[in-house]
Structure 1
Amino acid sequence: MTSPTAALSAAGVSIWLDDLSRTRITSGNLADLIANRDVVGVTTNPSIFQAAITAGVGYEDALAAQAAAGASVDEAIFAITTTDVRDASDIFRPLYDATKGVDGRVSIEVSPDLAHDTEGTIAQAKELHAAVDRENVLIKIPATKAGLPAITAAIAAGISVNVTLIFSLERYAEVIDAYLAGLEQAKAAGLDLSGIHSVASFFVSRVDTEIDKRLAAIGTDEALALKSKAGVANARLAYELFEQKFAEEGAKALVAAGANVQRPLWASTGVKDPSLPDTLYVTELVAAGVVNTMPEKTLEATFDHGVVTGDTITGAYADAHAVVDGLAAVGVDFADVTQLLEDEGVEKFIASWHDLQNTVKAALESAQ
């Protein structure tokens, strides 16, 4: 009997786990998820590392070693997180080799404090890439205005990138353009384009959370009929845009020269509203060549009772456009929603980062 996660993989979706910790690595849990849950990659973010290191389990020796070495708070965080990502990358290396670099990927994010600092982002992307020192690492750069030229610069330098915090189609188009510009520069510099990969992380559930709040405030039957439809519709239209952009002549020429398409990745796929099916943002977003990065709870729900019926995206573009048009008709300002979510996303990651700094600071002081 084929499991739902195996069926999802067979439908062309790469399952990545949205979590990482030292305990997952050393206990064999990560290897078990690869073997038994069809997991082929991992994403991390400041909130994930904040939760893992604050829990303390598995980090005592590493923190003590950093304290003994006289490391600063940021140096300790850098050393600990890059070690976790390096070790996870080694576990995924066979998958990376088997998929020619498409999967077997582990992501690590630049400091959220750099979200509006282009040059600082470029410098840290290079620093993280060198420190992890594994071909299958992806450096996460946020899709802020300042992040866009940093994406181009990193790609141009041959660094594979996971672009994160994408909420709007307009910004997603700019992200694809930034990737293609980086590939053009890499090609001009004589780099092997086939070794450069990228994913574009399009956030899903947070869109529904904000828009459903606005629909409830409007309160009409027309508004309430659109509840919990925006996130999936927005993601489906992102896939439509992906198909359109990579069918353009410039993109096709780069692919013909050996470049890879920048794959869409569905992020924020844990359901926030308990009244919704817990696999909604998995089973309704199936298409060839996408990544779905799931919290473990969503992964286990999908494995247990996900119903995978094949492609649920490419035949649904008309319906998705109708949802967006309907939202505008009842007075929801989609552009305002997506800008708010980008701003909040950056703020949340900065808050988690500062919490992590405080946790590590206290640990280093107590270890001295």
Structure 2
Amino acid sequence: MSTPTEQLTAQGVSIWLDDLSRERITSGNLTELIATRNVVGVTTNPTIFAGALSNGHAYETQVAQLAAAGASADDAIFQITTDDVRDATDIFRPVYDATAGVDGRVSIEVSPDLAHDTAATIDQAKQLWATVDRPNTHIKIPATKAGLPAITATLAEGISVNVTLIFSLQRYAEVIDAYLAGIEQAQAAGHDISTIHSVASFFVSRVDTEVDKRLTAIGNGVASTLKSKAGVANARLAYELFEKEFATDRAKALTDAGANVQRPLWASTGVKDPALPDTLYVTELVAPGTVNTMPEKTLEATFDHGEIGGDAVTGAYADAHALFDQLASVGVDFDDVTQVLEDEGVEKFIASWHELKDTVAAALSNAPEIAR
């Protein structure tokens, strides 16, 4: 009997772990998850690194060495995180080779402080790519208005990109356009476009959290029946848009020339409401050619009791459209929902980034003298 994670893989879903730490790398845990949980990639963000650096002793020696060298908190963060990502990409290299570069990917994010600065985002994306120096890296860039031209410019350099913090279909359409423009520019510059990969990270559970809060405030019986449905419906409509946009003449001209499609990635798949099934954002979003990046708790729940059927997305478009008509009819302004979520997402990552900087600055100042 196959495991649920094997079944998910068989349905064309790539399982990525939404977590990374040095302890996972050095203990063999990451290798074990590849072997036993069908994990074929990793995503990181400032919150994840803040948590990793705050716990345990895995970074003490390197922090002491960096303190001895007079490194600033920013320099130390850059060194520590790129080292972790490089080591993780080496662990995933066999997966990368076996999947012709599709999987075996590890994402590292540009500083959230740069979310509204196009030029600085491009510069840091290039710097991260050159420093990690592994082909199976993804540089993570948020899908803010300033991020869109940075996504295009980074792809145009032949750099693979994970576009993060996507909430609305309108912004997703702009992300796809930015991707296609980047591949067109890379092609014109003579890059081998078959080696450039990208995912578009569509956030799921946060949509339900915000919409359900508004439905509770509306308070009528109809509104209560619509709770905990918007996140899945929104993601399903994103997949509908993905199918449509990558069937255009523009996209087909690129894929015919060897380009890859930009795969949809389901992010924020940990259930926030304890009343909901803990595998909801996995089992309800099974679709071929997608990525589901899971926190470990969701991964283990899926492995333990996930009920994986076939494609749960492409036959559900009409119901998803109907749900959004119902949300509008009870007074939920979904455009406002997605703008609030994007703004909050950037703010949360900035807060985590500053927490990370404070943690590293304290560690540097308290580093033992032995390495100095």
Q: TM-score range by the shorter chain?
A: over 0.9
Deviation track 1:267-290 (CA, whole Å, cap 9, x = no partner) reads 000000000000000000000000
Deviation track 1:326-355 (CA, whole Å, cap 9, x = no partner) reads 100100000000000000000000000000
- What TM-score results when the alignment is normalised by the length of structure 1? 1.00
Report 1:145-160 matches (<5 A). 145-160=145-160
2:95 corresponds in structure 1 to 95
- Tell me, in whole angstroms, the C-alpha distance in 2 between the residues paired with 1:336 and 1:34: 39
Deviation track 1:225-250 (CA, whole Å, cap 9, x = no partner) reads 10000000000000000000000000
Residue type at the aligned position of 2:72: S
Could you tell me how far 1:57 is from its partner in structure 2?
2.7
Report 1:125-204 matches (<5 A). 125-204=125-204
Could you tell me how far 1:97 is from its partner in structure 2?
0.4
Residue type at the aligned position of 1:138: H
Could you tell me how far 1:70 is from its partner in structure 2?
1.0
- Tell me, in whole angstroms, the C-alpha distance in 1 between the residues paired with 2:291 and 2:303: 16
Are residues 1:241 and 2:241 paired?
yes
2:269 corresponds in structure 1 to 269
1:301 corresponds in structure 2 to 301
- Tell me, in whole angstroms, the C-alpha distance in 2 between the residues paired with 1:310 and 1:296: 23
- Tell me, in whole angstroms, the C-alpha distance in 2 between the residues paired with 1:322 and 1:43: 33
- Tell me, in whole angstroms, the C-alpha distance in 2 between the residues paired with 1:240 and 1:268: 20
Deviation track 1:61-89 (CA, whole Å, cap 9, x = no partner) reads 11111111111110000000000000000
Residue type at the aligned position of 1:328: A
1:31 corresponds in structure 2 to 31
Identical residues among aligned pairs (%): 77
Residue type at the aligned position of 2:284: E
SS where residue 202 of structure 1 aligns? strand
Residue type at the aligned position of 2:67: A
Deviation track 1:123-159 (CA, whole Å, cap 9, x = no partner) reads 0000000000000000000000000000000000000
Residue type at the aligned position of 1:243: E
CA RMSD of aligned residues (A): 0.5
SS where residue 190 of structure 2 aligns? coil
1:314 corresponds in structure 2 to 314
- What TM-score results when the alignment is normalised by the length of structure 2? 0.98
Report 1:14-93 matches (<5 A). 14-93=14-93
- Structure 1 gap ranges (5+): none
Could you tell me how far 1:220 is from its partner in structure 2?
1.1
- Tell me, in whole angstroms, the C-alpha distance in 1 between the residues paired with 2:56 and 2:24: 13
Residue type at the aligned position of 2:143: A
- Tell me, in whole angstroms, the C-alpha distance in 2 between the residues paired with 1:360 and 1:199: 30
- Tell me, in whole angstroms, the C-alpha distance in 2 between the residues paired with 1:57 and 1:238: 41
SS where residue 286 of structure 1 aligns? coil
- Tell me, in whole angstroms, the C-alpha distance in 2 between the residues paired with 1:347 and 1:271: 21
Are residues 1:325 and 2:310 paired?
no
Could you tell me how far 1:186 is from its partner in structure 2?
0.6
